[in-house]
Chain A
């Protein structure tokens, strides 16, 4: 546990390094110019949102597969991860809209990539509505876990397939004329540092949230015992 705590604390060094690299070290993209620097935040944030939803899906599978109840807290971990994923998805939409304003002149134009992320958002907002509505239901964990698994199955379609099937103005096809993303070594390493930083940031938040959840359960158990 102490090793995890120490590892996730590396975010306090990694994140400032990623910010400085993104603004001062990485060169601007040839066509997109300085507006391309938002990539060092938008891409890692989007990656973390997908990672958080995958972690919540996997935790849900393990929770449902665990018949003996040895990992009773897994539904809570799935909930926390989905919560972080939802916030990072909102941040992905915000950073993407800012880039769209600079590049397209409007914050929103229902591009396939934007539409698909809104659908993902709605799917996960529905999960929190279900969880909120079943606050006193004993099957809350199981129903929520089943929903998170179904939501995870839809992710590849909305996050990866839909934007590639329909024509999109998202920069991955338009950074270069040959429709491929070209990143030079400095851009590539900055992006890698940013992705690692945001991943560690996610792990840090999840770690703290899980510890808080454990404490909350402990307090509630003690209260029941006292009653």
Chain B
């Protein structure tokens, strides 16, 4: 059961991860292809991002960071509340021990 709870937390991270892929980048040549061209000494200039593309990631980066921070806040609140509840139960169980 606990494993399922943790896995559901993991699934919660998926939307943030998905947000990291800008939809308009799907058709671009892959970065690995560029890396392979560098390795094989080919010209990398033709794959250099245009000015338009260079400006685009800045807003995407803030969006992705916002989503990741939002998920982290959710996880942190969950952990903090769980920790407090466990501490309360420990205090209640202690005199009996």
* Contact A94 B30, beta carbon cutoff 8 Å: no
* Contact B65 A23, beta carbon cutoff 8 Å: yes
Q: Report A-chain residues with C-beta under 8 Å of the C-beta of B83.
A: 5, 208
Residue positions of B touching A, CB distance < 8 A: 2-3, 6-7, 9-10, 13-14, 17-18, 20-21, 25, 30-32, 34-36, 38-39, 49, 57, 60-62, 64-65, 68-69, 72, 76, 79-80, 82-83, 86, 89-90, 93, 96-97
Q: Report B-chain residues with C-beta under 8 Å of the C-beta of A28.
A: 57
Q: Which residue of B lies closest to A32 (CB)?
A: B31
Check A16/B72 contact, CB under 8 A, given A91-B13, A98-B17, A209-B2.
yes
If over half of B's interface residues share one DSSP class (helix, strand or loop), that class is named, otherwise mixed; here it is helix
Check A35/B31 contact, CB under 8 A, given A19-B65, A83-B2.
yes
For the complex, give the distance between the alpha carbons of A86 and B9 in Å: 13
If over half of A's interface residues share one DSSP class (helix, strand or loop), that class is named, otherwise mixed; here it is helix
* Contact A212 B38, beta carbon cutoff 8 Å: no
* Contact A94 B10, beta carbon cutoff 8 Å: yes
Q: Report B-chain residues with C-beta under 8 Å of the C-beta of A90.
A: 7, 10
For the complex, give the distance between the alpha carbons of A171 and B72 in Å: 27
* Contact A102 B38, beta carbon cutoff 8 Å: no
